[in-house]
Amino acid sequence: MSDIKTSFVYIISGAVNSGKTTKLRAIYDEIHQGDGFVLKKVYKAGCYIGQQLERLSDQKGVPFSYKRTFLPPNWDEVYMYHDYSFSKQGLEFAYKIVLEMIEKKIEPVFIDEIGPLELMGLGFANLFRQLLQTKKVIYVTVRDNCVLSVIDRFKIKEYSFIKVN
């Protein structure tokens, strides 16, 4: 029997717009420990146009993904997925947050979200793989239709579900 500890992952699952991000933030606020990031929705004139990546501990944020028709000035696209453009600056900010947490041994780690992009090896895929090797407690949001693929793709061994309706 191996006594090698692996990361324990709390998978917050639900449909698109079911409250996964809200639940992730609520858990962070409740336990008053750790750090990480959420993807905060951005609206213009009541219309959803994209997401800002926001650090939980200080609410500092940077643009992360926008519909291509609403790109902010000086946008630095790292890649596209359907009609969304993803920011190199946003991705680098996410990496900075998590790598700092690994270095300073901060946990639990909160990640919003692992989904279709990561299943293609993009987005936070490499960051999440690296994080899984740290043996930390991780809270992550995952869409219902991606849960089994995420568990399989990232070889998550120890996990528990927190279902959002």
4 has a pLDDT exceeding 80: no
CATH architecture of 8-39+88-163: 3-Layer(aba) Sandwich (3.40)
Residues in the chain: 165
Q: What tens digit of pLDDT does each residue of 104-163 get?
A: 999 999 999 999 999 999 999 999 999 999 999 999 999 999 999 999 999 999 999 999
Overall pTM surpassing 0.85 (yes/no) = yes
Domain range list for the chain: 8-39+88-163
Separation CA 161–CA 140 (nearest Å): 10
Percent helix, strand, coil in the chain, to 5, is: 30, 35, 30
Indicate the SS3 state at residue 95.
helix
96 has a pLDDT exceeding 70: yes
- Interacting residues of 163 by C-beta distance below 8 A, sequence separation 6+: 13, 14
H or E, element range at 98: helix 88-103
pLDDT of the residue at 6: 77
- Confidence band of 2 (pLDDT split at 50, 70, 90): very low
